[in-house]
């Protein structure tokens, strides 16, 4: 099997990875690739991705892998996304006790209020132009997740930088290690403050919560959980909103249909965005604890594996009618993998869906003639293969 170097076409890949995934899928569902100077396996087939996402010998615990320098680990790494059962099972059970559908649903009025306030500010701009990411798509989920966790007066600009460096570092060598160190220090102080003066927020509830046997999250685990919820809880939704608006503006027939029937089609518009151009391009690394086979491909123990959610969700074997490369908000039988699959299925999926539906619908209702700004210049695509989106989306109305 020949080695595929994704980094050799980084600029083209960042702008539109889907032709690359299509070419790989035609040759097979699993490939040996080079990414950032490292060799790994990439799964691009839908059925094979589902299998990999639930395979018992594919570990998420990089702290137990010989491929990484574990001296670079911080308390922020002690989270559900970077752990396996039984540790993952325990963490998720403790968090799920508090991060309930009732708590998420109770946020609906506040999500609508923040949305309306941000749109009011956009509408007041004299030149009727704005960067959607900076003005709307980023501050909305950031405000919501901070209020949910009870983070007081967070410096959103600073946190946005930290978060961006972690999920889409500008340097090809990876994120600046100082960013994770600074964020961990901030979260340590936050957890200490919450423990001393708890409120009704989620982080205070996580500090208080105990299982039937008296088990509770340790200080490091609380930092890891706050890190995961803050970063994953806003960064993905930023790109869900941005990618959804881009897709709708690029498909006037779909935009017109949604405007004509928002009640009936907004759910479909969000789900199709998640499938067609979802915010998470690749799931985070998994590590083979033993030899395994996926898609008739043998993977040796000790190898790392990436699962291309974006590639799997354009697989014509799974999405046949209409073609997977067609953006169709009336598509039925979704079955996409944008939130993952199995035990690591995104705990925040209901909140992300709610925010996406409220945000996109309200934006389109407020600005009936919304369009991309033709004077804005080329797009600034997020670098790397973890997130999919743009760092700015200039619009006019």
Q: What count of residues does the chain have?
A: 397
User: How many CA within 13 A on the CB side of residue 70?
Assistant: 9
The gap from C-alpha 282 to its chain's centroid, in whole angstroms, comes to 9
* Cβ proximity of 286 and 307 under 8 Å: yes
Report in angstroms the alpha-carbon separations of 356 from 182, 279, 316.
30, 12, 26
**Which pTM does this prediction carry?**
0.93
Q: Which residues contact 89 (CB under 8 A, 6 or more apart)?
A: 343
pLDDT at 233: 83
Q: Hey, what's the torsion of the CAs at 63, 65, 70, 72, to 10 degrees?
A: -90
Q: How far apart are CA 255 and CA 33, in angstroms?
A: 37
* Cβ proximity of 287 and 314 under 8 Å: no
Q: How far apart are CA 231 and CA 319, in angstroms?
A: 31
Q: What is the pLDDT along the chain (397 residues), one digit of tens a residue?
A: 568 888 788 889 999 999 999 999 999 999 999 988 889 999 999 999 999 999 999 999 876 555 555 445 566 777 888 899 999 999 999 888 888 888 889 999 999 999 999 999 999 999 999 999 999 999 999 999 888 888 866 666 777 788 888 887 766 556 667 888 888 888 888 889 899 999 999 999 999 987 667 888 888 889 888 888 888 888 899 999 999 999 999 999 999 999 999 999 999 999 999 999 999 999 999 999 999 999 999 999 999 999 999 999 999 999 988 999 999 999 987 689 999 999 999 999 999 999 999 999 999 999 999 999 989 888 999 988 999 999 999 999 9
pLDDT at 328: 97
CB atoms within 10 A of CB 165: 19
The CATH-assigned architecture of domain 4-396 is: Orthogonal Bundle (1.10)
Q: Where along the chain do its domains lie? A: 4-396
Which two three-digit tokens encode residue 336?
Answer: 């996409």
pLDDT at 77: 72
pLDDT at 391: 94
Angle, in degrees to the nearest 10, between helices 139-149 and 219-250: 150
* Cβ proximity of 381 and 170 under 8 Å: no
User: DSSP string spanning 172-225?
Assistant: TT---HHHHHHHHHHHHHHHHHHHHS--SSHHHHHHH---TTS----HHHHHHH
């Amino acid at each position: 099997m020949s080695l595929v170097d994704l980094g050799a076409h980084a600029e083209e890949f960042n702008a539109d990875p889907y032709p690359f995934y299509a070419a790989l899928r035609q040759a097979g569902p699993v490939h040996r690739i080079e990414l950032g100077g490292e060799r790994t396996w990439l799964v691009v087939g839908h059925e094979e991705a589902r299998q990999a996402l639930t395979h018992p010998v594919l570990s998420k615990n990089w702290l137990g892998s010989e491929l990484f320098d574990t001296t670079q680990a911080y308390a922020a790494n002690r989270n559900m996304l970077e752990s396996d059962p039984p540790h993952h099972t325990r963490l998720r059970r403790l968090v799920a006790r508090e991060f309930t559908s009732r708590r998420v649903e109770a946020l609906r009025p506040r999500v609508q209020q923040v949305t309306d306030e941000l749109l009011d500010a956009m509408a007041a701009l004299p030149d009727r132009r704005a960067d959607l990411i900076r003005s709307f798509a980023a501050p909305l989920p950031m405000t919501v997740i901070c209020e949910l966790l009870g983070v007081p007066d967070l410096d959103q600009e600073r946190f946005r930088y930290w978060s961006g460096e972690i999920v889409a570092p500008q340097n090809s060598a990876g994120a600046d290690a100082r960013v994770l160190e600074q964020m961990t220090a901030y979260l340590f102080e936050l957890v200490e403050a919450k423990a001393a003066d708890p409120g009704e927020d989620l982080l205070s509830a996580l500090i208080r919560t105990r299982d039937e046997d008296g088990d509770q999250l340790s200080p490091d685990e609380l930092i890891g959980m706050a890190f995961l919820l803050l970063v994953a809880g806003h960064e993905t939704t930023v790109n869900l909103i941005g990618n959804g608006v881009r897709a709708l503006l690029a498909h006037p027939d779909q935009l017109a249909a949604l405007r004509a029937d928002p009640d009936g089609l907004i759910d479909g518009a969000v789900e199709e965005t998640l499938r067609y151009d979802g915010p998470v391009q690749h799931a985070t690394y998994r590590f083979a604890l033993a030899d395994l086979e996926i898609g008739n491909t043998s993977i040796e123990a000790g190898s790392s594996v990436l699962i291309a959610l974006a590639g799997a969700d354009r697989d014509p074997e799974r999405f046949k009618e209409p073609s997977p490369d067609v953006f169709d908000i009336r598509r039925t039988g979704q079955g996409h993998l944008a939130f993952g699959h199995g035990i690591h299925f995104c705990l925040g999926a209901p909140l992300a869906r709610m925010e996406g539906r409220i945000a996109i619908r309200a934006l389109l209702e407020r600005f009936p003639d919304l369009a991309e700004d033709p004077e804005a210049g080329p797009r600034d695509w997020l670098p790397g293969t973890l997130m999919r989106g743009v760092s700015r989306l200039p619009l006019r109305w």
